């Protein structure tokens, strides 16, 4: 029998494990997001210095997500074999070294290869974290836990927005270009966080000394109750995860929203530069957008847990993100461009947070680990293809307008899919409740 919601054991347990594990893995997520998208700031100098066209940049930026998609499921299969702590540490050390190695790129081929290797190294990190948290936080507390972890994502934008202009201004120091300093300084810290994860992140609640027996019992009983509420599905292997009816729905939704999101993120500094903003003003906008995103995500986690469902916040945030794309497409002044970007900064994290928080509500056990990887694989395919189409359209038309219209349409389709997915989850939960 699980403990009554809101009792002292619950409150103390959630508080302790939140402070003990979320800051460290949140820091890992911060560098994860920074190292995959800081190329957007580097592009302000790199594309001109290395003579990269919008197509070359789009292919290189998107190639990261191709590798991420290809290696996502294998990485999470290895995570379930070796344990989350060891595998997450391995991921971070290798990607930190590769992220710093981006400073040595000189040709389009080298750019493609390094972005591919970086994506392969990072594959599995995010779904691995979701799988790890599902062994610590019961369903009714998981939305807030993931939102606190996710909080570090927008902070990556804030730190990157503040630091990147300064690093770009180091151009010429030590014989390095500013974009090379950016990759070096923003890349290496991930490797040190990976070492910290290996030594400091606990494997499971039962193995720690800082939880009492009643607190460990509370976690075990509530996680068991969550598992009982979910319908059993196959053997829990790869086939079961991929064939689960929610996996493809979440995957195609992610393909549209993550694809649109990463395409815009990777070119946002270039869009703002074209609107007349300098690198300092661009950094300020990105930093402020990160703060807004962090606040929006905390609110999203709180609201979705209070409502006991994730789709209201998913619908609202996806709508706001689509509006930001449409507004950017028609913007004709710097203030309008700024408002459009800040609207995007407010909404993007809540879009993915709502989706990710819903995964463990319908998937569990090994199906959750491999299902998360399958969903993320489909999502990254969108993040690979859309930047390439975006770059080709920009080279063909001389502007980003066609690409922005495409992102708006993709988001509108995602809203329709969100409604269908919500209906599917409600039907599934109703069947489980009456079984």
Question: Residue 236: its pLDDT value, please?
Answer: 54
* DSSP type of residue 136: T
CB contact set of 253 (below 8 Å; sequence gap of 6+): 355, 414, 417, 418, 421
Measured between alpha carbons, how far is 174 from 416 in angstroms, rounded to an integer? 52
**What is the pTM for the complete model shown?**
0.82
Q: What proportion of the chain, given as a percentage, has pLDDT over 70?
A: 92
**Mean pLDDT throughout 144-168?**
86
Helix, strand, or coil here: 146?
helix
**Mean pLDDT throughout 116-120?**
95
Greatest mean pLDDT among 56-60, 240-244, 291-295 lies in 56-60
Is residue 1 predicted with pLDDT exceeding 50? no
**Contact indicator for 405, 329 with CB cutoff of 8 Å:** yes
- Mean pLDDT, all residues of the chain: 88
What are the pLDDT digits (tens) for 295-324? 888 888 788 878 877 889 999 999 999 999
**Mean pLDDT throughout 323-350?**
96
Instruction: State the pLDDT confidence band at 16, using cuts at 50, 70 and 90.
Output: very high
More confident residue, 245 or 303: 303
**Mean pLDDT throughout 68-73?**
84
Is residue 80 predicted with pLDDT exceeding 90? no
354: left (phi over 0), alpha (psi -120 to 50) or beta: alpha
What are the pLDDT digits (tens) for 195-240? 999 999 998 899 899 999 999 999 999 988 877 765 544 445 667 6
Q: Which residue has the tokens 């939140």?
A: 18
CB contact set of 51 (below 8 Å; sequence gap of 6+): none
Nearest residue to 183 (alpha-carbon basis) of 97, 122, 262: 97
* DSSP type of residue 202: -
What are the pLDDT digits (tens) for 380-428? 899 999 999 999 999 999 999 999 999 999 999 999 999 888 887 777 6
Is residue 5 predicted with pLDDT exceeding 50? no
Class of domain 8-203+235-434: mainly alpha
């Amino acid at each position: 029998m699980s403990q009554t919601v809101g009792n002292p054991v619950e409150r103390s347990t959630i508080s302790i494990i939140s402070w003990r594990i979320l800051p460290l893995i949140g820091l890992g997520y911060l560098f994860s997001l920074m190292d995959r998208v800081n190329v957007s700031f580097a592009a302000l100098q790199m594309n001109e210095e290395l003579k990269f066209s919008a197509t070359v940049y789009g292919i290189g930026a998107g190639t990261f997500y191709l590798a991420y998609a290809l290696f996502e499921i294998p990485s999470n299969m290895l995570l379930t074999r070796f344990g989350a702590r060891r595998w997450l540490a391995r991921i971070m050390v290798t990607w930190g070294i590769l992220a710093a190695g981006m400073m040595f790129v000189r040709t389009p081929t080298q750019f493609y290869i390094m972005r591919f290797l970086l994506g392969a190294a990072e594959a599995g990190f995010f779904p691995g974290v979701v799988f790890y948290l599902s062994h610590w936080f019961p369903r009714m507390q998981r939305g807030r836990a993931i939102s606190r972890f996710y909080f570090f994502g927008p902070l990556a934008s804030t730190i990157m927005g503040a630091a990147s202009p300064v690093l770009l201004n180091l151009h010429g120091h030590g014989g390095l270009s500013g974009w090379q300093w950016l990759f070096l300084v923003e890349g290496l810290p991930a490797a040190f966080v990976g070492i910290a994860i290996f030594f400091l992140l606990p494997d499971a609640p039962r193995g720690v000394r800082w939880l009492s027996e009643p607190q460990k019992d509370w976690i075990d009983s509530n996680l068991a109750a969550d598992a009982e509420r979910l319908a059993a599905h196959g053997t829990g292997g790869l086939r079961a995860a991929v064939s689960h009816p929610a996996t493809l729905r979440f995957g195609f939704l992610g393909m549209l929203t993550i694809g649109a999101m990463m395409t815009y993120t990777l070119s946002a500094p270039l869009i703002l530069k074209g609107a007349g903003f300098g690198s300092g003003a661009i950094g300020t906008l990105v930093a402020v957008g990160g703060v807004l995103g962090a606040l929006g995500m905390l609110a999203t986690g709180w609201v979705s847990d209070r409502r006991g469902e994730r789709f209201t916040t998913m619908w609202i945030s996806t709508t706001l993100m689509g509006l930001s794309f449409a507004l950017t497409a028609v913007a004709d002044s710097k203030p309008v461009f700024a408002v459009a970007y800040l609207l995007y900064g407010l909404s993007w994290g809540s879009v993915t947070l709502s989706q990710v928080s819903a995964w463990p509500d319908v998937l569990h056990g090994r199906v959750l680990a491999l299902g998360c990887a399958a969903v993320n694989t489909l999502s990254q395919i969108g993040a690979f293809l859309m930047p390439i189409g975006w770059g080709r359209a920009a080279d063909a038309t001389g502007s980003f307008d066609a690409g922005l219209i495409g992102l708006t349409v993709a988001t509108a389709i995602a809203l329709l899919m969100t409604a269908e997915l919500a209906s599917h989850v409600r039907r599934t939960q109703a069947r489980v409740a009456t079984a």
